Structure 1
Amino acid sequence: MQAKDFLLELGLEELPPKAMPVLMQSLKQHMESGLHAAELSYREIEVLGAPRRLVLIIHELATKQNDRQVERRGPAKQAAYDAEGQPTKALLGFARSCQVDVEALELLETDKGAWMMFRANEPGRAAEAILPELIQQSLQQLPIAKRMRWGASRNEFIRPLHWLLALYGNEILPLEIFGISSGRDTRGHRAHSPGVLTIESIERYRDQLRDAKVIVDFEERRTSIRRQIADVVSEVFPAAKENGIQAVIDEDLLTEVTALTDWPVAMVGRFEERFLEVPAECLISTMKENQKYFHIVGADGAMLAAFVFIANLQSKDPEKVVAGNERVVRPRLSDAAFFYETDRKQTLESRLPKLESILFQKSLGTVLEKSKRLETLAATVATLIKADGAQASRAGLLSKADLVSDMVLEFPELQGTMGRYYAIHDGEPAELAAAIEEHYWPRFAGDRVPQSKIAASVALADRLDTLTGIFGIGQAPTGTKDPFALRRAALGVLRICIEHSLDLDLYEVIGAAISGYTETRSFDPELQTIVFDYVFDRFRNLYEEQGISSAAFLAVRKRPVRSPFEFHQRILAVEAFRSMPEAEALIAANKRVSNILAKSDLQDSAEPGSVDDRLFQNNEERALYDGVVACEDTTRPLLISGHFAEALKELAQLKTVTDKFFDEVMVMAEDPALRDNRLMLLRRLRALFLNIADIAELSS
């Protein structure tokens, strides 16, 4: 089948830089789905993007759909004709719906009866007819948070559309979007090539734009910027590699700058050394958020008084461009220095009353109330995990005080970080100061957890206070809505407990968190269980990301485990057990035992039952009993010390005697004494595994 390349360019006003990658990916996905549904074949779809354009290129797109053989079954033969052999209304209606005469219909005879049948060869539609429909549908489905209107039109899109380029096989594809008709004209760089640019062919499209100082390929620009940053640093700082001098490339900032530039040119600017007395995080925030600059560090990681910026033009006088950027950033840095100097005139503790003006949640009070709850709860957690309770308590009290500092009011992302600096300035212990910053960790998936146990105490207290409070007022997450980030908070609790190997009774701590609210608020009596279950159920998501099956999660979840770290150790043990050669048979045996016990008066239990060895009638009973007793002795110290994987290795030795028992012994004997004794033996066998997990769940 014939195929041609297709090019679509939407010429827009400057796109929001953070939206561009999402729009590109979404446009590609919707067009792929549309072409698949339309049965139009193609080799590859590319989506490109620059500040003023969104571009779609479909390589080797078929010129038409394949012809299709259409078959429709109509009424049964007896319902198609009357007694005189004339067509009935049912048959006439069927023929009309097929747009043919009755004579064009065929009779289909099968073993199950005869029906009227319409058969036809439906020619495939041309790509030129299908593409406009697919493009309109794809544009309507783009994830645009806030749409704009322009002029007198009622059209809405992410930005006003000014031109439309659409070529199919180098010929214009007739198309109209938002009142703009397609052609072969585009625009180059605003400064370097402001006029109209006529595209000769799809093959020449990128080169013509490049000549007009537009690199239309997003990834090409991104790669170029990364390379230019390294090159310009090496150029400005002699022996930069040898001295460990480099620009720190934040990937999100790199993506944003890529979306802001048509023709990126990296340059280096400088600022006064005096600004380095301000914490580096403050300087980085103001340069990154306001100016989109990349900071430069030395071999020791310390910030240098220089930065890389990306100009969107090739200047004939680059010194002026550098000077202009240095002039613009100076007031920003001066503001940061002023905020820092002003903030240090007050201690964190003296700021606490101002937290009364910040609402934590309208039904749960102010941030000051929360800080006082954290003061108590962090000390409780610290005592349980053998950390310094006094330092944890004070860190909890001061943890939110920097929210009312000038620096954090200007740069909210510095919350906690500035608290650490100000705490050190106030003379607080270094570990306490670090806890003020680290109690926000992990901020996102993959982020590090708090480094010290004091910080972990405050971090756990903060998250559990939020979880219990929000659940307590009935604002639990629903569907994809989670305005208070409770899922992230719960995952943070689990990660902190696991990565710090904390032997912490989470149910107990949740109870302590609830007690912090009891003087002012009344909650559901079941709240402690509700929050506990919610946090532990997040393990499922955590393990799915690690490739651990939901069956393993359920096997451990059915046991009364209240420590996240212990739960995790059991999960690892179960996963290791599943890879053993004995696992399949023992899983099946546990399932069988569970079913047998469920039908008797005995229920699953981790408590060993009493077995009378005088009632044994064969060697297989004796062998299983001896194996169970031996494993009870060998696994007991392993369970106490939390070595669950080693315990399951010991239990794997029961495979042979268990198999022989089921081969040779009738459990449900007619003699009630024999039957009950054998059931008790099986319960005791099952109890060994239930001490770790319900491995019968692994059978599904």
Structure 2
Amino acid sequence: MAGELLFEIGTEEIPSDYLDNGLAEMKRIAESLLENSRLQVAEPLVALGTPRRLVLLGKGIGPRQEDTVQEIMGPPKKAAFDQQGNPTKAATGFAQKQGVAVGDLQFVETPRGEYLFVRRKIKGRETAEILSELLPRLLSEIPWPKSMRWGGRGFPFVRPIHWLLALYGGKVIPMEIAGIKSGNTTRGHRFMAPATIEVSGVDEYLEKMKASFVILDPRERLTRIEKAVIHAAGSASGSPVLDPELLSTVCNMVEFPSAVCGTFDRGFLRIPDPVLITAMKKHQKYFAVRDEQGRLMPNFVAVNNTLARDETVVTRGHERVLRARLSDADFFFKEDAKRSLQDRLKDLKGVVYQAELGTSYDKVQRFTALAEYLCARIAPQRCSDVRLAATLCKCDLVTGMVMEFPTLQGVMGSEYASIEGRPEEVCRAIYEHYLPERAGGSLPTSVVGATVGVADRMDTLCGFFAIQMEPTGAADPYALRRHALAIIRIIEDQGWSISLKGLI
């Protein structure tokens, strides 16, 4: 227990997409603060957390600061002593200020001549005393995408703080943050073990949290969730679509996960797979299920934050909610099919792309012409496909489906184009022109998709530079650097020999 640090901040639910970075930053800042405070730490700090709590654990932290020697420069020697060698007011004043006798002052040679200086040994402070100052500072320095204030408190934090557990060497570290005083108590799972729990050290804390249905380690929760989801899908003789992003999101939404497998009307399977998967993932945080042939099944897996007394009741609740979501998706899909993509082109005139650069329709006209120019130099036989793909590739932005599920832009355009019987190369290009979606992401596989993608990005770059909205060292709100890198990657991958100056 000696040298142990246990610091837990109990909060209201922290957004799932804030937690991972928040824990990493808490660990980094804490290590920096301890190092700058001359506190020796024998073992690396550990940051754990759930939606309701942030936890910092440390072992082998020294009982006090290291002693240090401080050298303080004083006045020049010629100003500190007169010609007879007697100390002047400058010397006596400096000695008095530093709490030493004039005879203890020393001289040091500098490029500007000799100066007085005093060497003082500063004794290290007690660790508990330092921690009572550092821990509030630690919380104030964690960067969150958004912070809030509550109850008239001036302390900003990601979510309102409900309790503070702060122990060093088994003793409470006295402090107060946002009106909450530190203590030696914590709380278990909100529903399964809500009572106050008293702890005296790290090992006891970890044991009691486990017994109180709180899995502190995000990696352990993630493993449990993955196993539970696979097991639940297996009960329907299927395999879950294990999306890493969804796994991470769900992991940061629960303290004690369990999973159930539900069903939905088989008739919804007529909706394209990406729509079904997105509706389940984005709105409900459910996992889709596939059969042995890779086809979607009329099943889903939901992760709960409790062990259900009656899984049947819980499953029915999930099914009822998902039914409404899929009904919406089915409605949008049917309504969108009533109009062709080409017919929706004129609707882009009502979508402002950028105030000084016009509407999305204006942008389509610009990069369509640029795509034709580029295609004429690299693959003239594909110009008709390039023209059609460029014309249609933004039309799904005004469909009901994409307005409901923005992440499906390009995906739905490709689906609708396929339903209309457009050439396969054009359908693929409508989706691929958005690639790569991120640094190191997949690139377009077709010449048509690559051509439209380069033209679209080049129009964006030239447009924003033309209106003097270039990226700075501090900000790049329109991701212009990413667009520029994507252009270079696509050109290299396709092996084109073209003049970027000519495109510009």
Q: TM-score range by the shorter chain?
A: over 0.9
Report the counterpart of residue 352 of structure 1 in structure 2.
345
Alignment of 1:447 onto 2:402: no
3-state SS of paired residue (1:203): helix
Alignment of 1:250 onto 2:243: yes
Report the counterpart of residue 31 of structure 2 in structure 1.
32
| Aligned positions, number | 501
Alignment of 1:429 onto 2:428: no
Partner Cα separation in structure 1 for residue 478 and residue 71 of structure 2:
55
Partner Cα separation in structure 2 for residue 116 and residue 352 of structure 1:
80
The gaps in structure 1 that reach 5 residues or longer are 239-244, 511-700
Partner Cα separation in structure 2 for residue 472 and residue 360 of structure 1:
15
Report the counterpart of residue 479 of structure 2 in structure 1.
485
C-alpha contact (below 8 Å) 1:377/1:393 kept by paired residues: no
Partner Cα separation in structure 1 for residue 456 and residue 345 of structure 2:
17
User: AA paired with 2:271?
Assistant: V
Question: Which structure carries more helix by proportion?
Answer: 1
Q: 1:111 to 1:186 in 2, by over 3 A?
A: closer
Alignment of 1:306 onto 2:319: no
Report the counterpart of residue 291 of structure 1 in structure 2.
284
Alignment of 1:204 onto 2:204: yes
3-state SS of paired residue (2:407): helix
* TM-fit CA distance, 1:108: 4.7
C-alpha contact (below 8 Å) 1:225/1:266 kept by paired residues: yes
3-state SS of paired residue (2:249): helix
Report the counterpart of residue 594 of structure 1 in structure 2.
none
Q: 1:451 to 1:116 in 2, by over 3 A?
A: closer
Partner Cα separation in structure 2 for residue 460 and residue 408 of structure 1:
23
Partner Cα separation in structure 2 for residue 351 and residue 108 of structure 1:
84
Correspondence for 2:260 among 243, 267, 271: 267
Alignment of 1:101-140 (within 5 A): 101-103=101-103, 105-108=104-107, 116-140=116-140
Q: 1:70 to 1:506 in 2, by over 3 A?
A: closer
C-alpha contact (below 8 Å) 2:66/2:123 kept by paired residues: yes
* TM-fit CA distance, 1:47: 0.6
Report the counterpart of residue 9 of structure 2 in structure 1.
10
Report the TM-score, using the length of structure 1 for normalisation.
Answer: 0.69
Correspondence for 1:317 among 296, 301, 310: 310
Alignment of 1:161 onto 2:161: yes
C-alpha contact (below 8 Å) 1:315/1:321 kept by paired residues: yes
Q: Deviations over 1:30-88 (max 9, x none)?
A: 11111111111112101111111111111111111112233335445554344566431
Correspondence for 2:451 among 454, 457, 464: 457
Alignment of 1:142 onto 2:142: yes
* TM-fit CA distance, 1:110: 7.4
Q: Deviations over 1:462-488 (max 9, x none)?
A: 111111211112212122322222111
C-alpha contact (below 8 Å) 2:140/2:156 kept by paired residues: no
3-state SS of paired residue (1:60): coil
Partner Cα separation in structure 2 for residue 182 and residue 399 of structure 1:
57
* TM-fit CA distance, 1:114: 6.8
* TM-fit CA distance, 1:413: 0.7
Report the TM-score, using the length of structure 2 for normalisation.
Answer: 0.95
Correspondence for 1:369 among 362, 378, 385: 362
Alignment of 1:656-667 (within 5 A): none
* TM-fit CA distance, 1:3: 5.4
Report the counterpart of residue 231 of structure 1 in structure 2.
231
User: AA paired with 2:431?
Assistant: E
Report the counterpart of residue 56 of structure 1 in structure 2.
56
C-alpha contact (below 8 Å) 1:107/1:114 kept by paired residues: no
* TM-fit CA distance, 1:267: 1.9
Stretch moving more, 40-49 or 495-504? 495-504
* TM-fit CA distance, 1:509: 2.4
C-alpha contact (below 8 Å) 1:44/1:60 kept by paired residues: no
Q: 1:83 to 1:437 in 2, by over 3 A?
A: closer
User: AA paired with 2:445?
Assistant: Q
User: AA paired with 1:313?
Assistant: T
* TM-fit CA distance, 1:301: 3.0
Report the counterpart of residue 395 of structure 1 in structure 2.
389
CA RMSD of aligned residues (A): 2.0
Alignment of 1:476 onto 2:475: no
Partner Cα separation in structure 2 for residue 130 and residue 55 of structure 1:
19
Partner Cα separation in structure 2 for residue 336 and residue 247 of structure 1:
21
Partner Cα separation in structure 1 for residue 106 and residue 377 of structure 2:
83
Q: 1:116 to 1:492 in 2, by over 3 A?
A: closer
C-alpha contact (below 8 Å) 2:10/2:164 kept by paired residues: yes
Report the counterpart of residue 22 of structure 2 in structure 1.
23
Report the counterpart of residue 72 of structure 2 in structure 1.
72
Q: 1:328 to 1:83 in 2, by over 3 A?
A: same
Report the counterpart of residue 410 of structure 2 in structure 1.
416
Partner Cα separation in structure 2 for residue 403 and residue 247 of structure 1:
30
The higher-RCO structure (CA 8 Å, 6+ apart) is 2
* TM-fit CA distance, 1:153: 2.2
3-state SS of paired residue (2:413): helix
* TM-fit CA distance, 1:130: 1.2
Q: Deviations over 1:349-408 (max 9, x none)?
A: 111111110011111111112222233222222221115101110111111111110000
C-alpha contact (below 8 Å) 2:167/2:200 kept by paired residues: no
Stretch moving more, 164-173 or 380-389? 380-389
C-alpha contact (below 8 Å) 1:374/1:393 kept by paired residues: no
Partner Cα separation in structure 2 for residue 111 and residue 152 of structure 1:
54
C-alpha contact (below 8 Å) 2:18/2:145 kept by paired residues: no
Partner Cα separation in structure 2 for residue 443 and residue 468 of structure 1:
20
3-state SS of paired residue (1:471): helix
Partner Cα separation in structure 2 for residue 490 and residue 78 of structure 1:
62
C-alpha contact (below 8 Å) 2:163/2:186 kept by paired residues: yes
3-state SS of paired residue (2:460): helix
Partner Cα separation in structure 2 for residue 87 and residue 509 of structure 1:
77
